[in-house]
Amino acid sequence: MDQELPRRRGRQRRPRVPDSLRKRAARACLPCRQHKEKCQGGLPCARCQQYKRTCRFESIQPPAPGPSERASLPSENEMSNREHQMERIIQHFMGDVSFTSRNLQEIADMLEKERDDSISQDAEFSDGQAMSESYSLEPLSTSMMHYSGELSHWNFSKAIRRRLQNIGNGREQPDGPETTKGFFRATGLQSSNSFVTSSMMYFPPRDVAEFLTDTFLQFAQTNYFYFDETTFRQKMNFYYTTNQPFTIEDTGWICTLLMTFAIGTQFAYMQTRPTQAKTPSSEEIPDDHIGLELYRFSCRLIPDMITIASVETVQAFLLLGVYTLPIDTSGLAYTYYGLAIKMAVQNGMHRKYSGVSLDPLSVELRNRLWWSAYSLESRISILHGRPVSVSRVDTDADMPTEVTGLRPSNGVSNLPNIIANIYLTNQLSKLARVILRLRRCPRIQQTQHLQELRTIRTELCDWWASLPVEIHCRDLNPSGPLFRCNVHLELTYTTATIYIGRPFLFLHPGPSARMSTGDIRSETAKLLSDDCVQACLRIIDLCQLLQNSVGLARVSYTEFSSCRAALLALIAQRLIDDSSERLCSAIARGMTLIRQICVGLESARSEVAVIEALERARLQLDRRGESEQNCAPSDSGYDQFRRWAQLWRGEPLTSISLPGLEPENIEVPGTMGDDIPSFDGFLSSFPQELNAFASIPASDEFELPTEWPL
């Protein structure tokens, strides 16, 4: 036995065979290794070329650095800083762990074992390029695509088909009906062409159509993208000049045209309003009958648009949402935006397209449409307490970029504003998630989430300061080409600031209360609530700037919702600080502005109720001081009793009930008849909210509770 051991140890190794004499390649490509097939070598190898696979090899590790490269290695201070940052990253993902060498080695061995197990399972159960082709986008036409997700039946069937081809020695199976059933569209459920054919009678005269289109692009589009202006005008010219009957395939563009005209009627009065002119009354603004008729006919096309599910139908549903936004924000508009999201997902617009079937212009149109739909639907969902259809982590579509052929007719692109608006939407989503976690977490974890809020606030402030001031984003020159777009962008930014600080308004102590130093809870409550109040005052100033220049739009959700949020937060702040004259002045100005936004709307009953509720809430805050200071000595006891009775019973307020405001600056809407329909618009939820505010008594001191009822 002992004599045989040296003989075994001295056994010679097998000599290396030259590459020219080998029967198989020295290094096999990854697809052949995954399929456990013989690789013939080369790039691409013969087998990958036969099966039309992507032939690739593992990357070779770079050689060790030479003497000259070692000189450029990081210094000891930089290495120490790196170690500190890596410790922070480890603590973030793994919690409070020990950084001893033994413990770190055990953690690294455990993670490496889990990774090896995962790789071995993937290598055993994967099928060729199934892992690399996680989803598929296959064009059906110039405006329709078939999207299939990672774990879909369609992708699994494609994996089976590839395996069958491998078993059959690479013979391609002929395409038959079974290979195209996944691209099925329910055309049998579409209606006859009669609906689309009759749409011509709803087209306004050509010059009116041009006017309404220009109005839409100037006042309604702002920081979103709904369609390509050049293509839109080409389609409009075609439908106005063609003698051929319309078909189902024209449904998407027909609805896009009609809804653009309908939205144009909502903003048409702004085209004739001179600068510094008086706000027009309801009699001076044409009613919405024409726009309503265009909307009602467009609704008949909805079933066909759902079955078509093309890029044009995404445009149409977005415009349906824009039209209903001032009428029923959290209902109809939310539903239409959800349908636009579903149509976009069906076409794979939420995923990155890397194919060659579409030209760069078409790809950019898809990306801009997707991000506009995503921003609108996400923003409405967050601000109105609705679930978001698609999470940010579920989309990897490219951000909009400048592409030749997409510049508007005036030569000034709003693309920087669109990108900034997308960023604000993503930040608003992050804020919503952190605030929800803060509301539900135990007290011991509140500090971590509060720090996250402060970090997001800092990121927002730094990002806003870095935006361009000339023309785009932050240029507030009324004569600039993007003035309303820039004001709307800042309104969106300040609304996000209010969203951060609003939960802390009632947690922030009053001016006479003491605040403990070094407490991150108290410091954060003061910091974010102060930011919220300053953002409210800024919103009132921005709305006043709009009113003094181009005028406030009576159907602009951005203008009204920001003014609404500012007034609510200011009223809440008055419960704590009831001695601020600046807050009183801002509330009075905001009330005047919100009345001017409401002029001429059909849903006037809801808006009048909102305004009265706001005034009642403000008057109740000042009820003690106003009863002594603002009542004239000549007022009789009956006049004082009548004023108090109206306030207590919630009756409509008249001009004599509004101390502190000049009568000529207030437009009190008239009494509405019972025959006028009441819309559940973006104003109708105010009375309940403000009655809750008004029922809270004012106090001089406000202490932080032991548990935060966020």
Element (H, E) at 136: strand 136-139
Burial class (CB in 10 A: 0-12, 13-18, 19+), 705: exposed
End-to-end CA distance of the chain: 81
Measured distance CA(428)–CA(561) in Å, rounded: 15
Strand partners, 138: 146
Same domain for 500 and 606, yes or no, is yes
- Count the neighbouring beta carbons within 10 Å of the beta carbon of residue 644: 14
- Count the neighbouring beta carbons within 10 Å of the beta carbon of residue 76: 7
Element (H, E) at 571: helix 557-574
Q: Under a CB-based contact definition with an 8 Å cutoff, are residues 616 and 650 in contact? A: yes
Measured distance CA(119)–CA(317) in Å, rounded: 44
Tens-digit pLDDT profile for residues 583-618: 888 988 988 888 788 765 554 345 546 656 666 766
> Which tokens hold the place of 406?
């997409």
Same domain for 403 and 446, yes or no, is no
Q: Under a CB-based contact definition with an 8 Å cutoff, are residues 380 and 329 in contact? A: yes
Strand partners, 351: none
pTM: 0.69
Tens-digit pLDDT profile for residues 343-357: 999 988 999 888 777
Is residue 44 pLDDT above 50, yes or no?
yes
Same domain for 251 and 384, yes or no, is yes
Tens-digit pLDDT profile for residues 271-284: 875 544 445 555 55
- Final residue belonging to a domain, choices 628, 649, 673: 628
Is residue 498 pLDDT above 90, yes or no?
yes
Measured distance CA(448)–CA(460) in Å, rounded: 19
Measured distance CA(520)–CA(533) in Å, rounded: 20
Element (H, E) at 540: helix 520-548
Measured distance CA(573)–CA(342) in Å, rounded: 41
The per-residue b/e assignment along 304-320, b for 16 or more CB within 10 angstroms, e otherwise, is bbbbbbbbbbbbbbbbb
Same domain for 216 and 243, yes or no, is yes
Structural domains of the chain, count: 3
**Interior angle at CA 125, CA 171 and CA 122, nearest 5:** 120
Measured distance CA(434)–CA(506) in Å, rounded: 19
- Final residue belonging to a domain, choices 357, 389, 409: 409
Is residue 259 pLDDT above 90, yes or no?
yes
Tens-digit pLDDT profile for residues 56-76: 776 555 555 555 555 555 666
Strand partners, 518: none
Q: Are strands 145-148 and 136-139 parallel, antiparallel or unpaired?
A: antiparallel
Same domain for 319 and 456, yes or no, is no
Structural domain containing residue 257: 202-274+284-409
Those residues with Cβ within 8 angstroms of residue 314's Cβ, 6 or more apart along the chain or in another chain:
340, 343, 344, 347, 349, 369, 373
Same domain for 397 and 484, yes or no, is no
The whole-number average pLDDT for the span 531-552 is 93
- Final residue belonging to a domain, choices 586, 603, 628: 628
Same domain for 344 and 453, yes or no, is no
Measured distance CA(201)–CA(225) in Å, rounded: 28
- Amino acid sitting at position 550: V
Q: Under a CB-based contact definition with an 8 Å cutoff, are residues 709 and 631 in contact? A: no
Element (H, E) at 145: strand 145-148
Same domain for 426 and 398, yes or no, is no
pLDDT computed for residue 16 by the predictor: 64
Percent with pLDDT over 90 in the chain: 30
Residue 378 forms part of a structural domain: yes
Q: Under a CB-based contact definition with an 8 Å cutoff, are residues 447 and 521 in contact? A: yes
Residue 664 forms part of a structural domain: no
- Count the neighbouring beta carbons within 10 Å of the beta carbon of residue 232: 19
Residue 168 forms part of a structural domain: no
**What average pLDDT is seen over the chain?**
74
